[in-house]
């Protein structure tokens, strides 16, 4: 229950930051931005103390660790793969153009139109 209350408070802080941004419409842009960022930062601090917030931080850390384990392709592999994808896309475009053009000819002949 405490987490739900904290999440509600965080939502209200975000809403207050946005409302402050619009309430200070005659102020300098820096002041409006600072008020909105303050609301967002305070909301983030409140969320950080909740169980879902702590799980989100753990998930983020695990994601960074996992991305460090990924074996990224070399430059040569990336260029070769990109070339294959582009060649396939061009081949498919030509094939679909040929099918479309031939179907258009067939339909025009069936309808008695000449080009």
Q: Do 65 and 85 fall into the same domain?
A: no
Q: How many Å apart are CA 111 and CA 87, to the nearest integer?
A: 36
pLDDT tens for 30-62 read 999 999 999 999 999 999 999 988 998 999 999
b/e map 41-57, b = 16+ CB within 10 Å: ebbeebbeebeebeeee
Find the domain containing 43 and state its range. Answer: 2-69
Specify whether 12 is located in the same domain as 49: yes
Same domain, 77 and 61: no
Position 114 pLDDT exceeds 80 = no
Task: Tell me, yes or no, whether 16 and 65 share the same domain.
Answer: yes
pTM above 0.75, yes or no: no
Q: Is 78 found in the same domain as 60?
A: no
Domain's final residue, options 31, 51, 69: 69
Q: Are residues 61 and 80 in the same domain?
A: no
Same domain, 54 and 92: no
Q: Are residues 61 and 76 in the same domain?
A: no
Helix 2-23 crosses helix 29-48 at what angle (to 10 degrees)? 180
Report the domain count for the chain.
2
Residues 48 and 94 in one domain: no
């Amino acid at each position: 229950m405490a987490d739900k209350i904290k999440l509600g408070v965080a939502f209200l802080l975000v809403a207050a930051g946005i409302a402050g941004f619009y309430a200070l419409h005659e102020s300098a842009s820096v002041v409006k931005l600072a008020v909105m960022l303050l609301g967002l930062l305070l909301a983030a601090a409140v969320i950080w103390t909740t169980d879902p917030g702590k799980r989100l931080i753990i998930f983020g850390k695990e994601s960074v660790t996992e991305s460090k384990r990924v074996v990224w392709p070399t430059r040569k592999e990336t260029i070769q793969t990109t070339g294959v994808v582009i060649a396939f896309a061009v081949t498919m475009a030509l094939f679909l153009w040929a099918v479309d053009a031939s179907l258009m000819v067939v339909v025009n002949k069936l309808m008695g139109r000449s080009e």
